[in-house]
Structure 1
Amino acid sequence: MKLLLIEDNAAMQTTLQRSFQRRGIQVVPCTDGARALDRWRASVPDVVLLDLSLPGLDGLQVLTQARAEGLRTPVLILTARGTVGDRILGLNSGADDYLPKPFDLDELEARIRALARRRELPGTSDTAAPAFAGLSVDGPSGAVCLNGTPMELTPREAAMLRALLARPGQALAKERLVETVFPGEAVQADAIEVVAYRLRKRLAATGVQLVTLRGLGYLLKAAA
């Protein structure tokens, strides 16, 4: 089993990584919220263990953006924010489980393994990821495929395409796409135009068009 551990406390991260590896769980560590989504897309984890207090983007922002992109990996929030309101907010943002600090390591492992088992049950996998006109998103990896074959896309191109695939035929504003494609980065809204230009070239032979709607944003349209 592969676990993506998103935790900025170095001592906590080291302790958890060593403990889980001794228990046969492969751990991919990440300390920065702004980089967490890239690790999530690249590592294809079975479960994500997510702290809320992170530099760059906080944990709830990471989780909200991941779900918006179609990343459906089960998430267990592990945090010192343990009030009922915090738990409700985390679960409503797309978390599957919530364990406040301090915690018992055996209980944490049991909850992680339960999420991994649940993910493997019929009807709970990532097969319901967005799809449109031959384009689809592989839920576990986040890769965008054309007729089942992964496309060669940069991480930013893939992030933009996943966001658009979640709402094909509907315009997404530049500002929202900037937040998705450049998480935690201070860039101008026009930066998305460069990504859109490159993505449009990638889609040229797919039968799907990336359409610019002035004043509204971008949308995907099936070629006539």
Structure 2
Amino acid sequence: MRVLVVDDEARTAALLRRGLSEEGYAVDLAADGPEAVWRAAEVLYDLIVLDVLLPGFDGFEVCRRLRAGGCWSPVLVLSARNAVSDRVRGLDAGADDYLAKPFSFDELFARLRALVRRGALERPTLVAVGDLRLDPASRRAWRGETELRLSPKEFALLELFLRHPGEVLTRTRILEHVWEFPCDGVSNVVDQYVAYLRRKIDPGGPASHLETVRGAGYRLLNPAPVNGS
């Protein structure tokens, strides 16, 4: 099992290397952001242990670049920055877990074992179908190069469709996921918001990539590029 430890503090890096080596891991070290990205591009690591405060660029940016470059090795962020906002930033950047310093090696090993069991599954930070793209972390969405101005419910509705392309989503399922209440049999809120979203995705109309499936619900089709791009 090969692990990349990214930490610019020599003492901490040596401590991690010794502890992980004693546990049976093969350990490589990187001391800054650019080196971490380069090493992860050259070697398929089973795990990456990543500090946040790094020279070059920080751990959040390392994680974003790894995911953008197609590196899906499990990443555990290990940092003295333990505010909720920092943990959220790390997870939104594509990390799989976040452990605060000071830490227990027993807990670190347990978390790493859990990540190994999960494996290097593809977990893109951007959700995309055709030229529709959505960034859950920044709460932004685009059609081609045009940013879509969406309300919170429109954003949640688009994210649901993008995560289930080509799948028929019933009104009940949409209500439960976007509005968190079950269908009462008469509410037309889903139809209204699908209509709002259609107008923003396809402002030129009347063609829409949110298809109505009569008697069933709605389905997102793969949108063709806008303006022939």
Band the TM-score falls in, shorter-chain normalisation: 0.5 to 0.7
Bigger RCO of structures 1 and 2 (CA < 8 A, at least 6 apart)? 1
In structure 2, the residue matched to 1:142 is none
In structure 2, the residue matched to 1:54 is 54
TM-score in terms of structure 2 length = 0.52
User: How many residues are paired up?
Assistant: 126
Partner SS state of residue 29, structure 1: strand
Pick aligned residue for 1:125 from 121, 143, 147: 121
Question: Deviation string for 1:48-92 (max 9, x for gaps)?
Answer: 100000001111111111111111111000001001111011101
Contact 1:13 1:29 in 2 (8 A): yes
Contact 2:72 2:123 in 1 (8 A): no
In structure 2, the residue matched to 1:67 is 67
Distance 1:93 1:125 in 2: 15
Deviation for aligned residue 1:42: 1.4
Partner SS state of residue 18, structure 2: helix
Deviation for aligned residue 1:125: 3.4
Contact 1:81 1:100 in 2 (8 A): yes
Distance 1:92 1:32 in 2: 21
**Counterparts in 2 of 1:118-197, with a 5 A limit?**
118-119=118-119, 125-126=121-122
- Say whether residues 1:79 and 2:79 are aligned partners: yes
Which 4+ residue blocks in structure 1 deviate beyond 4 angstroms? none
Contact 2:34 2:57 in 1 (8 A): yes
Q: Look up the equivalent residue of 2:57 and give its one-letter code.
A: L
**Which has the larger Rg?**
2
Partner SS state of residue 49, structure 1: strand
Distance 2:32 2:22 in 1: 24
Question: Deviation string for 1:121-143 (max 9, x for gaps)?
Answer: xxx63599xxxxxxxxxxxxxxx
TM-score in terms of structure 1 length = 0.53
Distance 1:8 1:113 in 2: 24
Deviation for aligned residue 1:43: 2.1
Distance 1:103 1:75 in 2: 16
In structure 1, the residue matched to 2:2 is 2
